[in-house]
């Protein structure tokens, strides 16, 4: 007799009989309830307004880059791929962390930059914040806040920085997204 047959007859079979007997005794014949599919809660769709292929312009209308935001991993993640007009590239991974009840973004770029932000939908805007090393004062942290707001025909992305703990903010980037051809 093979090891598999011995396993089935000695270990698995009695277990299956016990399960069937328990279901019969309780009168329940349907399978146990399953967990809901991942990433189906409404909060997982909070940032979907950013999905798409975009031309990004500054407030004066000058083209500053292109951005492609796509859903990945069954809609659980948004992947951003940025290319500036000057050739700088960057990628962010964005997801709703259901365990912590907030959104998270990790950004990396071709200059070796790293930025990690957390936040939530505030009204219609996605607002994410985090600390980063201040480029003008190495070793000192600055607070970063990025706000994405859906607007007629696109999205506004406002990136602000504070070196005084959020008392005052300076705009780092103000981009106006309009849909672009793929």
- Chunked into runs of 10 residues, the chain (182 residues) has average pLDDT values of 39 39 47 70 96 98 98 96 97 96 97 96 97 80 96 96 94 97 76
Q: Give strand pairing partners of 130.
A: 144
Which pLDDT score is estimated for 133? Answer: 85
Q: From residue 31, how far is each of 19, 20, 27, 161 by CA, in Å?
A: 11, 11, 12, 53
Tell whether pTM > 0.75.
yes
Q: Are residue 4 and residue 83 in the same domain, yes or no?
A: no
Domain count, the chain: 2
Q: In terms of residue numbers, what domain contains 47?
A: 42-179
Whole-number pLDDT of residue 61: 97
CA 99 to chain centroid? 13
Q: Where are the alpha helices (DSSP H) in the chain?
A: 3-7, 13-26
> Do 4 and 73 sit in the same domain of this protein?
no
Asked if 51 and 12 sit in the same domain, the reply is: no
């Amino acid at each position: 007799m093979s090891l598999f047959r011995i396993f089935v007859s000695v270990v698995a079979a009695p277990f299956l009989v016990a399960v069937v007997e328990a279901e019969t005794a309780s009168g329940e014949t349907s399978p146990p309830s399953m967990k809901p599919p991942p990433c189906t809660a409404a909060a997982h769709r909070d940032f979907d307004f950013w999905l798409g292929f975009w031309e990004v312009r500054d407030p004066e209308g000058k083209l500053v880059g292109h951005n492609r935001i796509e859903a990945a991993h069954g809609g659980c993640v948004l992947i951003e791929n940025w290319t500036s007009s000057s050739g700088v590239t960057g990628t962010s991974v964005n997801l709703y962390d259901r365990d912590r009840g907030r959104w998270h973004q990790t950004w990396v770029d071709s200059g070796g930059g790293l930025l990690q932000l957390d936040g939530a939908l505030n009204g219609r805007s996605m607002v994410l914040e985090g600390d980063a090393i201040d480029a003008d004062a190495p070793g000192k942290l600055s607070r970063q806040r990025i706000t994405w707001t859906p607007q007629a025909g696109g999205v506004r992305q406002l990136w602000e920085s504070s070196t005084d703990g959020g008392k005052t903010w300076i705009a780092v980037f103000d981009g106006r997204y309009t849909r672009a051809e793929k």
